[in-house]
Chains A and B, each alone.
Chain A
């Protein structure tokens, strides 16, 4: 046929190299595994989102009229478990990290491709188990599984949910292990640590936390499951056990886990901010080392979750002090991104809009974190909506914003198609407005004393709760829009070309979508990261 012959033959890439479900389910290509992860975590995100919707609907009115308190307990528990373990922890590392770390360092694949596939299967098994738990009645312990409620009193399926979290941990560990070895051993010739994109640095720090922290939470939930099954009581005061020990063990992982969520977001930020400011990052070494500092210091602060749990006053003092320290490297990063933008050629493409949102919201989340680190205020606002608002500013305002920023930024590379820029901007705006409307009122609610985890509340809180629910509706639209137009772009989007943003980085030097082995020949790196001084000063699309 004449028309077919006239078309240039499509370049072989990782998407069209072979077809069929086997070529996906048995793939060891990090790019395909990233896509598998992307699909799975998006699915889990909307499950978690469903529970969030239920929570906000219930809180529209002061009375507990939509569901019973038991059902409400299950709603927020499963919202937390699904969002934390099945969306946020794997979100950026398992998708964007998986896809781009090998490309950014000029490698053909991660160091252990089969282990990478195994980690996805482990994720799928644990997610399947969690969905089974949800369908058979759910859990009501909160995502934190605190004993003695989880071990003795809860009537829900704590054991299976615990097993799901336990299994899921190993998927996270394997991803981290793979990234560490890959970063050490697979870098292209000439790509020294000082030339490494900050995306890789940040993911390296994340991986260190995953490797050091995750095993502890795994054994901890295992202990809860054992105690529940055989009534043996390691956290049971009846035989001299200490329930607070569970909280120590749990938060030894789960506080650093916050940095597992936010460090990859910072990774995305460093790439996006430099590209859309057309500038070298301000203070490369400080940003790189701040990632490592966050990973290390993040391990030394866990007991600030326990200030009112009965730990000693001396320990509370030590942990309060240490908690302030972790703000320093986080602040360094924020200052350096803003300094990077200063006098830059800023363009307002969708990824950059999300980046603006991230920087503002993360700063607010971080600052309110300092409130919570200080003993006096923490005692006042513990277990109120102030805490809820604080960590949603970090995890949603920070991590999810950055995730969306990264997805938009690299979508052209991953799929070869441009997303519709206009709709992108609309969605970014909706997410920002919706987010603030949802969670800013919750700071006030918390400060006024509205406790978390109750399905009914006193009438004076209603106005702010209605605002919050209204914001959540806008937020929901903001999240559904990208799902629609990104899928739409797969078929109808414009071809992106290898480098639609005129961005710097090895991943932009190969075709889009990339060929199966990423590069036709192994690149040799002779330049430092973010050399935007020598790049065109304009971003061709998105302005």
Chain B
């Protein structure tokens, strides 16, 4: 006689897999390979960043002074905390505590909203400042530390272009992650997962952690270049 957990396990086993372990390892490996494509996807932008920063180190420092320290830092804190809640939600799923999983994921999604809100505040700040590259650019007079004024170098647009594309693409990933985690939270609340079958929670968690990883590098590369005072 099959026990009830075995029945559940068989129910969630797709027909072309021999057993649950094969299915679990396949989907985990698939997710890791997907994350590698994400590394290279962001990698094109990071390469552009490395090239232009090596060409215009002074401009990069100047650009970094336009990044506000606290919003960036708070967002880093928010993402690191959200990584913790996701990790704990996967742990809860592995233990069979599905309501806990759902709640922790919900907290994560809320932190995702917080992140996006702060990001939007920063974007608005750049809008007001006039540092949107392209036709909207109207940051044409820069104030120097000694109080004099000068024309900012036009390469500053490159810095801001990369800033917007990199953080924008990252924010897009945050939003996609929020959608995925909400779905998973819904199914967890409905009781779809078991200690034997919770790999969707696990691999969605991997995705969220990856989004966090990207930010771990974006934060020092964009916000912490210049030695200015808080």
Contact = CB atoms under 8 A, between A and B. Distances in A.
Interface of A: 107-113, 115, 173, 177-178, 180-181, 184-186, 211-216, 218-220, 223, 226, 230-234, 238-242, 245, 248-249, 252, 522
Contact of B155 (A185, A226, A232, A239): A239
A218 B169 CA distance: 13
Nearest to A244: B51
Contacts of B40: 212-213, 215-216
B140 interface: no
Contacts of B12: none
A1 to B, nearest CB: 36
15 contacts: A107-B16, A110-B16, A112-B27, A177-B30, A211-B36, A213-B40, A216-B41, A216-B43, A216-B44, A220-B44, A226-B165, A233-B133, A233-B158, A240-B154, A248-B51
Contacts of A226: 165
Nearest to A185: B26
Contact of B30 (A181, A213, A219, A245): A181
Contacts of B27: 112
Contacts of A213: 40
A185 B44 contact: no
Interface in B43-99: 43-45, 47-48, 51-52, 55-56, 59
B62 to A, nearest CB: 13
Given A184-B29, A219-B41, A232-B161, 19 more contacts: A110-B16, A113-B14, A180-B33, A181-B29, A185-B22, A185-B26, A186-B22, A214-B37, A215-B38, A218-B41, A223-B165, A230-B134, A230-B135, A233-B157, A234-B158, A238-B154, A239-B157, A242-B51, A248-B51
A220 B44 CA distance: 7
A211 B134 contact: no
B162 interface: yes
A350 to B, nearest CB: 33
Given A220-B44, A233-B133, A233-B161, A245 B37 contact: no
Contacts of B155: 239-240
A245 to B, nearest CB: 6
Contacts of B29: 180-181, 184-185
Nearest to B162: A234
A33 B25 CA distance: 24
Q: Which among A108, A177, A240, A522 has the highest number of chain B CB atoms within 10 Å?
A: A240
A130 to B, nearest CB: 21
A112 B17 CA distance: 10
A177 B16 contact: no
A245 B51 contact: yes
Contacts of A178: 30
Given A111-B30, A239-B158, A232 B37 contact: no
A170 to B, nearest CB: 9
Contact of B55 (A107, A181, A231, A240): A240
B37 A211 contact: yes
A477 B125 CA distance: 63
A184 B135 CA distance: 50
Interface of B: 14-16, 18, 22, 25-27, 29-30, 33-34, 36-38, 40-45, 47-48, 51-52, 55-56, 59, 133-135, 153-155, 157-158, 161-162, 165
Contacts of A239: 133, 154-155, 157-158
B44 A111 contact: no
Chain B CB count within 10 A is highest, among A107, A181, A185, A223, for A185
A249 B44 contact: yes
A215 B43 contact: yes
A384 B124 CA distance: 50
Contacts of B37: 173, 177, 211-212, 214-215
A277 to B, nearest CB: 34
A186 B27 CA distance: 12
B33 A231 contact: no
Contacts of A234: 48, 158, 161-162, 165
Q: Which 3 A-B residue pairs are closest in the complex by CB-CB distance?
A: A240-B155, A215-B41, A219-B44
Nearest to A110: B16
A215 B44 contact: yes
Given A185-B26, A231-B134, A240-B55, A177 B158 contact: no
Contacts of A184: 29
Nearest to B14: A113
Contacts of A249: 44, 47-48
Contact of B158 (A185, A211, A240): A240
A177 B33 contact: yes
Given A215-B43, A216-B43, A240 B56 contact: yes
B101 to A, nearest CB: 24
Considering residues A115, A232, A248, which has the most beta carbons from chain B within 10 angstroms of its beta carbon?
A232
B157 A181 contact: no
Contacts of B26: 111-112, 181, 185-186
Contacts of B158: 233-234, 239-241
B34 A177 contact: yes
Contacts of B59: 240
A185 B161 contact: no
A364 to B, nearest CB: 33
Contact of A211 (B22, B33, B43, B154): B33
Contacts of A211: 33, 36-37
A211 B29 CA distance: 13
A238 B134 CA distance: 11
Contacts of A242: 51-52, 55
A153 to B, nearest CB: 17
Contacts of B55: 240, 242
Contacts of A223: 44, 48, 165
Contacts of A214: 37
Nearest to B38: A215
Contact of B134 (A232, A240, A245): A232
Contacts of A185: 22, 25-26, 29
